[in-house]
Every structure is written in structure tokens, then in C-alpha cells.
Amino acid sequence: MLNNLEVNMLFNGSYTALLTPFINGEVDYDAYRKLVDFQIDNGTHGLVPVGTTGESPTLSHDEHKKVIEVCIDQANGRVPIIAGAGSNSTAEAIEFVKHACDVGADGLLVVTPYYNKPTQAGLIAHYTELANVSSKPIIIYDIPGRSVIGMTDETMAKLAQHDLIVGVKDATADLGRPTRLLNIINDKFIQLSGEDGTALPYLAAGGHGCISVTANIAPKLLSRMHNAWQQGDIKTAQDINQKLMPLHDALFCETSPGPLKFAASLLNICQSDTRLPIVEIALESKKRVEEGLKFAELM
């Protein structure tokens, strides 16, 4: 089991919430392997397969598991892997947690159960069950915009008492939260932003990194931004953040990962195919994505 120092060193900086490429309705594993290499070659600090950006709700269980296996195989130990292992069913999440541990993930990303709307007591029970069957560190994924329910700071502090619940991917965009959590937990609890547009001020408030959508197509810029921040070069970090802000905004002008998939197709990373109910983005949205890419000097 990793100690606190090892966890802090492992889970920080620019992690990419990997998209899942499709072709003719099937997962495009060749494009996926190329995406993993593209990320690592451009300095990404870690990879997160099968999260929201990876369209996990529309992957079959077999696809979910294989995507994680392919990511781990292609990365080949070059960067840490935090595997998506959440579900709104605790029993189903247990299956995903055990699989990700068995195939060599370094950590697990577990979303708050969507649709069911559990109470805070239900969240504690859910995560405790998963942590008790896991052999790898768990990152809580708090995303009320997708899950309907959110986790309170007090609930997170209770869960952080478990040795294997080590951090949060915070997609609330609440920039006061990192400091509040520092006060009621400690600085060993990993805080990763789940929102690209506020990732830099999140770091300033006490965060450790970001699990990024934009890093799929701008891994070098975002790894440089986080490196600059960690080195105390605030001006460089601010300049990169400013350069990427129109792109951050454009990638969420419609439901993600629709705009991201379109941007990736323009950069020849993969096709723009998504799975229903995510559809091709509108012409006006495509123009916004193109403008964001140009402003960031990516095309």
C-alpha cells in the first residue's frame, strides 16, 4: 500500500480524462493506443481512462474493462493510470474496482452514484464498501452537474479517514473548497480539479492538479502549465491559462465530449464519432471550437 508521500507524488499535475475513440460504432483501439502515446510524448503526468469524457455510460462492461487494459498496456508504466471504476450500483462498482486493481491500475476514480440520489449516509456506505474491497487508492469524483447529488465537505472528511480514500476530483468549480478541505482534512488529501476553466485558481487555493478534458488535445501546454506552477513560475502558468481559456470554454459549449471529439478530429487524433445520446455538435459550436484551437495556436 502507498504511503501519504507516495500518493502525493503520484497523483498531481496534469492528468488527462481520456476520450474513447469510436469508428463504425466500435471502440477504435488503434486510435486509442496512439492517443496514449501522444499524451505521454507531450508530458502528461497521468491518464484517466473510462471517465465521463471517455463516454463510460455508453460502454458495455466488456468495453469498459478492455479500454482500461489497453490504456495500462500501452502506457507500460510510463505514467500513472487512474481507472474509472464508478457506477450508480454499488455491486457493479465493486466489479469495476476489483477488475482495475487486478489489471494494474495505480488508482481508481469513483463517481458519486448518479440517478439514485443517495443521502450523505448512503455515500459513506457506498465508498466504504468499495474501499474495503480495493487494493489501490480511491479518488472520489464529485460532479453534481452529472450526478445530481454532491458530497459535503464533512462527508469527504469522514471518508478520508479510510486509508484507501486518498483524494477528490472536484468538478464543482467551487474555488473556496480546496482551502476548506485543507482545514478539515489535511494537505495529504489529494485535490484534483475536474474543471479546466478554473484549474489554475484551484491550484492557488490549495489544489494538487487537474483531471483535464482539454489535455486530450493540448497535453503539452497543460503539462507545461502545471510544471510552471510547481516550479513557482506563476507568470508562465498564467500565460498558458490565458491562451487556453477560449478553448476550455469552447469544449463545453455543448455536452462534453461532443466538442472535444470534433476538436480531436480536426487535429487527426481520432474521428469525431460519439455514441447516442451524444450527437454531432452544431455548426455554430464547430466554429467556436475552431476559434479556440486557433487562439491556442493548435491549428
- Residue 210: closest CA among 151, 169, 251: 169
Q: Distances from the Cα of 234 to the Cαs of 121, 157, 201, 229, in angstroms?
A: 40, 30, 11, 6
pLDDT at 203: 98
Tell me, rounded to whole angstroms, the distance of Cα 293 from its chain centroid: 21
- Identify which of 131, 194, 136, 116 has the alpha carbon closest to the alpha carbon of residue 161: 131
Residues forming the active site? 141, 169
| DSSP SS3 for 109 | strand
DSSP structure string for 53-86? TTTGGGS-HHHHHHHHHHHHHHHTTSS-BEEE--
At residue 10, the pLDDT reads: 82
Q: What is the CATH number of domain 4-233?
A: 3.20.20.70
Contacts of 157 (CB under 8 A, 6+ apart): 181, 184, 185
* Domain residue limits, the chain: 4-233
What does pTM read for this prediction? 0.96
Cα–Cα distance, 245 to 121 (Å, whole number): 38
Q: Between vectors from CA 15 to CA 18 and to CA 264, what angle results, nearest 5°?
A: 35
Write out residues in the chain with pLDDT < 50, as ranges.
none
pLDDT at 183: 96
| C-alpha–C-alpha distance, residues 183 and 260, integer Å | 36
Cα atoms in the Cβ-side hemisphere of radius 13 Å centred on 290:
8
Q: Which helix (H) or strand (E) segment is 47 a member of? A: strand 46-48
Beta bridge partners of 13: 209
Report yes or no: 105 and 10 within 8 Å, Cβ to Cβ.
Answer: no
Supply the pLDDT for residue 5. Answer: 54
Q: What is the CB-side half-sphere exposure of residue 75 using CA atoms within 13 A?
A: 29
AA letter at 132: N
The residue type of 62 is D
Phi, psi of 230 (to 5 degrees): -65, -25
